[in-house]
Structure 1
Amino acid sequence: MILEVAILQVIKEKEAHFERDFAIASQFIESIPGYVSHSLRKCLEQENKYILLVDWKKLENHTVGFRESEAYLEWKKLLHHYYNPFPVVEHYEMVLENKR
């Protein structure tokens, strides 16, 4: 499993519109083979800062399957105009996991 992590700086005073459009855009990422789950979390210290966490079965499910899809074009259309600066996206693999 691969975790995609993106820190999203949303233009101030557009947070509510971003959250609304993100809920709509979720259908596009969920439609991609290899998608597992995602969550969007809002920063407590900086109200226009979010973190997007997406679990993928393989890296290529995101970098090829999603980014080269028609669904990604719809995702971009709904969301990319909210970011300043544009987010850096990184991918992580599990080293250790503890659950209670």
Structure 2
Amino acid sequence: MILEVAILKVIPGQETAFEQAFAQASTLIASMPGYRHHQLQRCMEQPSQYILLVGWDTLEDHTIGFRGSPQYQQWRALLHHFYNPFPTVEHYQQVYANAC
């Protein structure tokens, strides 16, 4: 599994609208082949900052499958205007896990 990680800096004052748009956009990403799970968390110290974590079966499920899809165009239209600056997205592979 691949973990997509994005730090999202939302324009201050737009947090509620962003969260509402994200709830709508969530159905788009969840419908994609190779999708496993996602979560959005809001920073306590910087309330305009969020972290998005998305689990994918493969890197290509995200970079080619999702980003090359019509659903991504809808995702972009719903969310990308909230970011300043535009987020950097990185991908991680698990090295170690401790089950609690």
Normalization by structure 2: what TM-score? 0.99
Give the percent of matched residue pairs that are identical in Structure 1 and Structure 2. Answer: 58
Aligned residues: 100
Q: Which residue of 2 aligns with 1:95?
A: 95
Counterparts of 1:55 and 1:98, CA distance in 2: 18
Within 5 A, what are the aligned runs for 1:1-100? 1-100=1-100
Letter in 1 for 2:53: L
Counterparts of 2:18 and 2:99, CA distance in 1: 32
Q: What value does the CA root-mean-square deviation take over the aligned residues?
A: 0.3
SS of alignment partner, residue 6 of structure 1? strand
Counterparts of 2:25 and 2:74, CA distance in 1: 7
Structure 1 regions of 5+ residues with no counterpart?
none
Deviation at residue 40 of structure 1 after TM alignment: 0.0
Structure 1 moving runs of 4+ over 4 Å: none
